[in-house]
Amino acid sequence: MEYRSLGKSGLAVSQICLGTMTFGKETSPEDSTRMIDQFFDLGGNFLDTANVYVGGRSEEVVGQAIKKRRQDVVLATKVRMRTGPGVNQVGVSRKQIMDCVEDSLRRLQTDYIDLYQMHVWDQITPIEETLRTLDDLVTSGKVRYIGCSNYYTWQLMKSLCYSDFMRYARFISIQPQYSLVCRELDREMISLCIEENVGVIPWAPLGSGFLSGRYEQGVIPTEGRLSAKSGEAHWGHRYTEKNFRILDEVKRLARQYGKTPSQISLNWLMYKQGITSPIFGARTLEQFEDNMGSVGWRLSDEDWNRLDQVSALPDEYPTRFIEKFRRSL
């Protein structure tokens, strides 16, 4: 297992992060605990959850599983989504953050959170209020570092600028969707994160299961994440000629390396410039073991570049203009 610094910080995290969105529902508490124990036995130290996963049950399961090894864990959770019927039980206002952090600490059975992330931008609350509140939490010791998730590039840059101007704690990471079949972040976000030293910890690194190789062209899934009727896991977001070309290349390399398509896809992502630690989820122990087979080896440069090329975004302005200009210098 390799370890990387998370953004502009001294916090070391494993090259892969265990996501716990299914813990306490699709994944039983017993299997969840087994996964966490095996993850740490294999060198992992980074866990991600959120206060709304399974209505807070995920945090409870994680908290129970790690309470005897808390200092060895880099524990990440989130705030922003609706937590109750009240008008103020949503967003990242000072009130909601202060209320939610106490609830998360209680469920997690800990007195601090290593990485506290804003789940989505809040269009109502001024960013000044949110960042001041987060800085207070860092100062108090209840939160060690802060991050964001699902932000536009301008929203992240605005947040970083305001934190720097006010000398507040700044976001050290962002958690976006990113994979071989979802590379929209290449337009601006990845280059910003490299420039500003913000760690990128992608969710859905297997394209909601598409890159596991279980799906066939022309067959609409009736089970699993991609059978969803809406949202990012909707089959319509994955069913494209380009994505199946990517999948064909992943399967070819899986045969060549004696690996699974999931392992090939995760390994490519781990060594993408700007990516710190992909977050993988597993409903079963079999899925967990498959995903963990992505560490401890590396694609050749030739094969890595082949995947990078087949999954790259179309040639677009201003990227093509800027690249042509650079080559002319």
Active site members: 53
What's the CA gap between 173 and 101, in Å, rounded?
18
Between the alpha carbon of residue 131 and those of residues 105, 128, 138, the distances in Å are: 20, 5, 10
Taking the C-alpha atoms of 202, 205, 209 and 211 in order, what is their torsion angle to the nearest 10 degrees? 160
Residue written as token pair 């953004």? 7
Query: Residues 206, 182: contact at Cβ < 8 Å?
Result: no
Token code pair at residue 85: 């019927």
| Cα–Cα nearest to 146, from 133, 158, 157 | 133
Kindly report the number of other CB atoms within 10 A of residue 39's CB atom. 22
Residue written as token pair 């299997």? 31
Task: Report the sign of the C-alpha dihedral through residues 117, 108, 81, 49, in that order.
Answer: positive
> Which amino acid, 328?
S
What's the CA gap between 329 and 313, in Å, rounded?
24
